[in-house]
Amino acid sequence: MTEIVFLVEDDPEVGYTARALGESIFTQAEDIESLKEMIRDAVDCHFEAEEKPKIIRLHIVRDEVIAS
């Protein structure tokens, strides 16, 4: 595996959540910088060294409401 993708969403209770697509990895943090560290740790724990993806891609989803 060369790349893993995380879906990152705002969470009003904890700040941000991140869920890996195609893997059973989930983490959360109060801010984006902390979330990046948590994601790196989660990936390191989930994969053996020789299987670990070289690229971690974050797909950040933000909801915006526009009044009509």
| Number of independent structural domains in the chain | 1
Indicate left, alpha or beta for 22 from its phi (over 0: left) and psi (-120 to 50: alpha): left
Would you write out the chain's pLDDT as a tens digit for each of its 68 residues? 799 999 999 998 999 999 999 999 999 999 999 999 999 999 999 999 899 999 999 999 988 889 98
Domain housing 12: 3-61
State the burial class of residue 39 (Cβ atoms within 10 Å of its Cβ: 0-12, 13-18, 19+). Answer: buried
